[in-house]
C-alpha cells in the first residue's frame, strides 16, 4: 500500500520527499508527463520529472536527478513503452549509519567524496589539500542523438561534462566524460573513469569476459558475479592479450546464444584500462565502472585545463549472446571502423612472415608474389626483416630505411612487380620499438622509456620508445610518412611486440611523468590519424604479437587486426569464437599456414582454409613448398571466398555449435540483404562412428526457398532447393568423419 505524508517522510527522510511524490504521481492514471507515449527522438528530456530518456530501437536508458540534484541511473534494458510509467529519481535512504545514501544510490558519475565507498568515477586532490568531491547537476544540452550533462562540485569550479551518444539501430550508447578545472588551483586527477553501467539490482548475475595470452587470445571465460569486486584491466601500456576491455552480463541461467537478456559494454582505449565489476550491498547492485586504469595514474590539471576519458560503450540484447555480438559487429562496422561511411570488403592477403621470417629479399618476395597472385591474392604484405640490419630479432628496430643488401634498388622494383601482378603492396612496421643494436638507439638512448640509472628490461631484445615525447612522436611520424610518400604502400601492418617496462619520463616535470601511460597512446593515435589524413587510401592492420591491441579505440583507426600468432586451425576455432563475442569477423585477420603448426598439429588444407574463411582471409604459407594440388585447391577456395566474403564480413553471424562444447563447431553467416547464407562446419575427432549432430540454421526467411550448394558433397540432404523453415527446424545433416573434417554449404535465396 502507498504510504503518504508524515509516515513516508519519516521512513525515507526529508530528502526523499520528491521521490515519494513521484510514486504518488505514478499511481494516478490521468497524469501525463512529457510526451506521453515514448517519442522516437533518441534523446528526450522529461522536464517535469527531471529525467532523460535515451532510446534506441529496442532499448531504453533512463537517468534522472534526485532530490539531492545528483544524476542517477534509473533503468537500462528493453525498450519501455510509455512515459506514464516513469517516476522521478530519488536517492536510497540511509540503510544504517554504515551504508550512506550516496553509496547505495546508482550515481551515474560518482565523485569520491562525502561517504562514497564504491568504485568512484572521479577522484581528485586539490592543491589546497582538499580530497572531497561531490558532483551535482548544473545544466544540460540536447543535440539530436547526443546529450550533454554538466556536473559541478558543490563548492569548487571543478566541472564534469558527461556526453551520451545514442546509436538507435545498434541498440548502443556511448558515454564519455571530460573533467574541466575552472578553479584557480591545480587539481590532480587520481582516477578518471568514463562512467558506470548498472544492471537491475539483484543476485545471480554471471560475467562473461575474454582472457588469454600470447598465441592463446580471446578465450571466453564465465563466472558468477559475487559480492566484492572483479577487476579486469591492463597495466601493460596497451590493450593486452591477457584481457580485452569487453564484458557481458546475464542473469545466470537465463541467457544462451538465442535467448535471454544480455547487457554488454566495451572501452575504446588501447592503453592501460580498467573495468571494475562490482556487486555492492545491500541490494546486490551490480555495476561496471570503466575508464583509464588508475594504477600509477596521476594527472595534474592546471587552471583552465581539461582531461577527457575514453569512450565507454554499452548495449543490451534480449536475444542472448548471439544478438549481443551481432549488435556489436554492426556497431563496429557502421560506427567505428575507418571505412564506416563506405564499407569495403577486406582483400585476400598474403603475408610473408611464416614463409620467410627475417630472410626476405627482392627475388624471394617476387617469387612468392607471383605464386600468390595466381591463387587470387589481392594484397601482398612483406613482413619483418626488410629494414636496417634486421636479420633476426636482435637488431634493426628503429632504423626504418630499406636494407641495402636485401633490396639494393630499394623497394620500388618489388612494389612495381607486385602491382603489375594486380596486387596492392603492404609493409610491416613496429614503429614504437627500438633495438639497443640500432642506429636510432645509439643516437638517442634517452628516447627509450627508462628510469635514469635503473635497468632497462628488454623483451624480444627490444625497448619501448617513449611515444609520449613530442620529438619521438614527430620522428616516427616523419619516417613513416616518408616511406609512404616515396613508395606505393597501400597497407601497413603496425606491430607492437612487447609491453611497457620501466615507464619513466624524466624530461617531463615530475608531477606529469605518470601521464606517459595516456599521452603515449594519444600520440600513437595521432600518428595514425595524421598518416591516414595525408595518405587517404592507406589501410592499417593492428598487431601486437597477435591480438594484443584490439579494442574500440584502435578500431576507429585500423581496418583489420591480427587475431593471433597462433595460426593453428583447430586452436583458432576457439580464439575466433571468443573474438566474435566482442569483435566483427570483418576485422578478424585469419591466415592459412603450413603444418605441422603450433602444438605439432596437422590439419588438412581444406580445413585450414575454411577456418580462415570465417574472417578476413589471408594466406601465410610458404608457397614455394606447395604442390600443384595445393595450388588448385587454394585457387578454388579463394574463388569461393570471394563469392561469400560480403556475407562473412558484412553479414550477421550465428554461432551454432561451440568448439568449447563438443566435437562439432558450426558457424553461419547471413548477408545483410538476407539473400545469401553460408554454413561452416568442423568436426574435431569422430568417436564410435557417431554421426555429426543435425545443424539447424538460423536467421533465414522461413517462407523463402534456398538453393543449396555443397562444394564437397558432404551434405546428406541432396535436394537442390529447401525452404527456410525446413533449414531452420529440420536442419541439415553433414557427413563429417574422422579427424579435422570440415565443410561449407552456401545457400542462395531463390527469387
**Minimum distance between the CB of residue 544 and ligand GLA, rounded to whole angstroms?**
7
497 binds ligand GLA (CB under 6 A): yes
C-alpha cell at 345: 570488403
589 binds ligand GLA (CB under 6 A): no
**Minimum distance between the CB of residue 269 and ligand GLA, rounded to whole angstroms?**
21
495 binds ligand GLA (CB under 6 A): yes
Is 594 among the catalytic positions?
Answer: no
| CA 368 – CA 350 distance, rounded (Å) | 9
| CA 431 – CA 544 distance, rounded (Å) | 11
Helix (H, G, I), strand (E, B) or coil at 677: strand
384 binds ligand GLA (CB under 6 A): yes
| CA 666 – CA 305 distance, rounded (Å) | 52
Which of residues 461 and 686 has its CB atom nearest to ligand GLA in the complex? 461
**Minimum distance between the CB of residue 546 and ligand GLA, rounded to whole angstroms?**
5
Inter-residue contact 418 to 380 (CB < 8 Å):
yes
**Minimum distance between the CB of residue 465 and ligand GLA, rounded to whole angstroms?**
17
319 binds ligand GLA (CB under 6 A): no
Q: Segment near ligand GLA (CB under 6 A), from 169-177, 410-418, 538-546, 659-667?
A: 538-546
**Minimum distance between the CB of residue 495 and ligand GLA, rounded to whole angstroms?**
5
**Minimum distance between the CB of residue 497 and ligand GLA, rounded to whole angstroms?**
5
Helix (H, G, I), strand (E, B) or coil at 631: helix
Which of residues 562 and 579 has its CB atom nearest to ligand GLA in the complex? 562
**Minimum distance between the CB of residue 748 and ligand GLA, rounded to whole angstroms?**
36
Q: Where are the alpha helices (DSSP H) in 651-723?
A: none
257 binds ligand GLA (CB under 6 A): no
| CA 694 – CA 660 distance, rounded (Å) | 18
Q: Cβ-closest residue to ligand GLA?
A: 384
Instruction: Give whole-number Cα distances, 217 to 244, 367, 562, 661, in Å.
Output: 9, 33, 11, 18
Which of residues 167 and 428 has its CB atom nearest to ligand GLA in the complex? 428
Q: Where are the alpha helices (DSSP H) in 360-493?
A: 362-374, 412-420, 439-443, 470-486
- CA end-to-end span of the chain: 60
Which of residues 168 and 364 has its CB atom nearest to ligand GLA in the complex? 364
Site for ligand GLA (CB under 6 A): which residue of 120, 311, 546, 724?
546
399 binds ligand GLA (CB under 6 A): no
Which of residues 158 and 543 has its CB atom nearest to ligand GLA in the complex? 543
353 binds ligand GLA (CB under 6 A): yes
| CA 97 – CA 111 distance, rounded (Å) | 20
Q: Segment near ligand GLA (CB under 6 A), from 9-17, 219-227, 274-282, 540-548?
A: 540-548
Pick the closest to residue 246 from 458, 550, 521 (CA basis): 550
Which of 495, 551, 594, 741 is catalytic? The answer is 495
Q: 40 exposed, middle or buried (CB, 10 Å; 0-12, 13-18, 19+)?
A: exposed
Total residues contacting ligand GLA (rule CB under 6 A)?
Answer: 11
Pick the closest to residue 132 from 94, 187, 180 (CA basis): 187
Q: How many angstroms from the chain centroid is the CA of residue 52?
A: 28
Report which secondary-structure segment, H or E, holds 321: helix 320-331
Which of residues 20 and 569 has its CB atom nearest to ligand GLA in the complex? 569
Q: Segment near ligand GLA (CB under 6 A), from 124-132, 541-549, 592-600, 628-636?
A: 541-549
Site for ligand GLA (CB under 6 A): which residue of 551, 565, 571, 646?
565
Q: What share of the chain is helix, strand, coil (3-state, %, to 5)?
A: 25, 30, 40
Taking CB under 6 A as the rule, which mask of x and - marks residues 421-450 in contact with ligand GLA?
A: -------x----------------------
Instruction: Give whole-number Cα distances, 334 to 247, 341, 590, 651, in Å.
Output: 21, 7, 22, 12
Site for ligand GLA (CB under 6 A): which residue of 383, 432, 515, 568?
383
**Minimum distance between the CB of residue 498 and ligand GLA, rounded to whole angstroms?**
10
Rg (CA), the chain: 28
Residues 498-512: b if buried by 16+ CB within 10 A, e if exposed: bbbbebbbeebeeee
Quickly count: other Cβ atoms within 10 Å of residue 300's Cβ: 18
Site for ligand GLA (CB under 6 A): which residue of 543, 584, 587, 605?
543
Pick the closest to residue 555 from 151, 244, 196, 156 (CA basis): 244
**Minimum distance between the CB of residue 427 and ligand GLA, rounded to whole angstroms?**
11
Is 279 among the catalytic positions?
Answer: no
67 binds ligand GLA (CB under 6 A): no
Which of residues 75 and 380 has its CB atom nearest to ligand GLA in the complex? 380
**Minimum distance between the CB of residue 613 and ligand GLA, rounded to whole angstroms?**
19
323 binds ligand GLA (CB under 6 A): no
153 binds ligand GLA (CB under 6 A): no
Instruction: Give whole-number Cα distances, 736 to 364, 395, 606, 666, in Å.
Output: 39, 48, 13, 12
C-alpha cell at 555: 578500431
Q: Segment near ligand GLA (CB under 6 A), from 249-257, 418-426, 543-551, 602-610?
A: 543-551
356 binds ligand GLA (CB under 6 A): no
Which of residues 44 and 346 has its CB atom nearest to ligand GLA in the complex? 346
Which of 565, 571, 594, 741 is catalytic? The answer is 565
Q: 600 exposed, middle or buried (CB, 10 Å; 0-12, 13-18, 19+)?
A: exposed
**Minimum distance between the CB of residue 567 and ligand GLA, rounded to whole angstroms?**
9
491 binds ligand GLA (CB under 6 A): no
| CA 665 – CA 700 distance, rounded (Å) | 20
Interface residues toward ligand GLA, by CB under 6 A: 353, 383-384, 428, 495, 497, 543, 545-546, 562, 565
- Active-site positions? 495, 565
Amino acid at each position: 500500500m502507498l504510504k503518504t505524508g508524515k509516515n513516508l517522510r519519516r521512513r525515507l527522510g526529508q530528502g526523499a520527499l520528491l521521490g515519494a511524490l513521484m510514486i504518488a504521481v505514478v499511481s494516478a492514471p490521468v497524469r501525463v508527463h512529457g510526451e506521453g507515449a515514448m517519442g522516437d527522438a533518441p534523446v528526450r528530456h522529461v522536464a517535469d520529472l527531471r529525467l532523460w530518456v535515451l532510446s534506441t530501437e529496442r532499448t531504453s536508458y533512463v537517468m534522472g536527478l534526485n532530490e539531492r540534484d545528483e544524476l542517477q541511473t534509473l533503468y537500462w534494458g528493453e525498450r519501455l513503452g510509455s512515459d506514464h510509467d516513469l517516476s522521478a529519481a530519488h536517492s536510497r535512504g540511509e540503510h544504517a549509519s554504515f551504508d550512506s545514501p550516496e553509496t547505495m544510490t546508482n550515481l551515474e558519475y560518482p565523485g569520491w567524496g562525502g561517504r562514497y565507498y564504491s568504485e568512484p568515477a572521479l577522484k581528485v586532490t586539490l592543491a589546497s589539500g582538499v580530497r572531497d568531491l561531490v558532483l551535482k547537476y548544473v545544466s544540460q544540452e540536447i543535440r539530436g542523438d547526443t546529450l550533454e550533462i554538466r556536473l559541478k562540485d558543490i563548492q569548487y569550479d571543478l566541472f564534469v561534462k558527461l556526453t551520451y551518444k545514442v546509436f538507435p539501430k545498434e541498440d548502443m550508447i556511448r558515454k564519455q566524460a571530460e573533467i574541466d578545472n575552472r578553479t584557480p588551483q591545480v587539481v590532480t586527477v587520481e582516477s578518471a573513469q568514463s562512467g558506470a553501467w548498472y544492471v537491475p539490482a539483484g543476485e545471480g548475475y554471471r560475467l562473461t569476459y575474454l582472457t588469454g595470452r600470447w598465441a592463446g587470445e580471446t578465450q571466453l571465460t564465465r563466472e558468477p558475479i559475487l559480492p566484492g569486486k572483479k577487476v579486469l584491466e591492463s597495466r601493460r601500456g596497451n590493450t593486452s592479450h591477457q584481457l580485452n576491455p569487453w564484458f557481458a552480463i546475464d542473469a545466470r541461467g537465463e541467457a544462451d546464444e538465442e535467448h535471454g537478456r544480455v547487457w554488454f559494454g566495451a572501452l575504446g582505449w588501447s592503453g592501460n584500462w580498467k573495468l571494475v565489476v562490482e556487486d555492492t550491498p545491500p541490494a546486490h547492485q551490480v555495476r561496471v565502472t570503466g575508464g583509464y586504469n588508475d594504477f600509477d595514474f596521476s594527472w595534474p590539471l592546471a587552471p583552465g585545463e581539461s582531461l577527457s576519458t575514453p569512450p565507454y560503450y554499452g548495449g543490451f540484447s534480449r536475444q542472448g549472446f548471439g544478438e549481443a555480438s551481432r549488435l556489436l559487429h554492426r556497431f563496429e562496422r557502421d560506427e567505428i571502423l575507418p571505412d564506416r561511411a563506405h564499407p569495403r570488403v577486406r582483400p585476400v592477403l598474403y603475408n610473408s612472415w611464416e614463409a620467410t621470417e627475417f630472410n626476405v629479399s627482392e627475388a624471394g618476395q617476387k617469387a612468392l608474389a607471383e605464386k600468390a597472385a595466381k591463387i587470387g591474392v589481392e594484397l601482398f604484405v612483406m613482413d619483418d626483416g626488410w629494414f636496417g640490419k634486421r636479420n633476426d630479432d636482435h637488431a634493426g628496430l628503429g632504423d626504418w630505411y630499406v636494407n641495402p643488401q636485401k633490396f639494393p634498388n630499394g623497394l620500388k622494383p618489388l612494389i612495381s612487380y607486385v602491382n603489375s601482378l594486380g596486387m596492392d603492396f603492404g609493409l610491416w612496421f613496429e614503429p614504437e620499438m627500438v633495438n639497443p643494436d640500432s642506429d636510432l638507439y645509439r643516437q638517442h638512448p634517452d628516447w627509450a622509456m627508462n628510469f635514469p640509472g635503473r635497468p632497462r628490461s628488454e623483451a624480444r631484445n627490444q625497448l619501448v620508445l617513449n611515444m609520449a615525447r613530442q620529438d619521438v612522436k614527430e620522428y616516427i611520424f616523419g619516417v613513416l610518412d616518408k616511406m609512404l610518400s616515396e613508395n606505393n604502400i597501400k597497407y601497413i601492418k603496425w606491430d607492437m611486440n612487447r609491453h611497457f617496462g620501466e615507464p619513466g619520463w624524466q624530461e617531463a616535470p615530475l608531477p606529469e611523468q605518470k601521464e606517459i601511460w595516456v599521452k603515449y597512446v594519444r600520440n600513437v593515435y595521432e600518428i595514425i590519424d595524421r598518416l591516414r589524413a595525408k595518405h587517404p587510401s592507406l589501410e592499417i592492420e593492428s598487431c601486437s604479437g597477435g591480438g594484443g591491441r584490439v579494442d574500440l579505440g584502435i578500431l576507429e583507426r585500423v581496418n583489420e587486426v591480427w587475431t593471433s600468432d597462433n595460426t593453428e586451425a583447430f586452436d583458432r576455432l576457439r580464439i575466433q569464437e571468443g573474438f566474435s563475442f566482442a569483435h566483427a569477423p570483418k576485422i578478424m585477420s585469419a591466415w592459412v599456414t603450413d603444418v605441422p603448426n603450433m602444438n605439432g598439429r596437422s590439419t588438412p588444407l581444406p580445413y585450414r582454409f575454411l577456418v580462415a574463411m570465417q574472417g578476413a582471409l589471408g594466406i601465410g604459407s610458404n608457397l614455394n613448398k606447395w604442390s600443384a594440388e595445393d595450388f588448385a585447391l587454394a585457387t578454388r577456395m579463394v574463388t569461393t571466398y570471394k563469392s561469400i566474403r560480403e556475407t562473412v564480413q558484412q553479414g550477421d553471424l550465428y554461432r551454432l555449435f561451440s568448439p568449447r562444447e563438443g566435437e562439432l563447431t558450426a558457424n553461419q553467416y547471413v548477408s545483410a540483404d538476407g539473400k545469401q547464407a553460408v554454413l561452416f562446419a568442423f568436426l574435431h575427432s569422430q568417436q564410435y562412428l557417431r554421426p555429426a549432430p543435425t545443424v539447424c540454421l538460423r536467421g533465414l526467411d522461413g517462407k523463402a526457398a534456398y538453393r543449396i550448394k555443397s562444394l564437397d558433397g558432404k551434405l546428406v540432404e541432396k535436394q537442390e532447393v529447401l525452404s527456410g523453415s525446413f533449414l531452420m527446424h529440420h536442419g541439415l545433416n553433414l557427413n563429417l568423419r574422422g579427424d579435422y573434417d570440415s565443410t561449407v554449404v552456401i545457400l542462395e535465396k531463390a527469387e
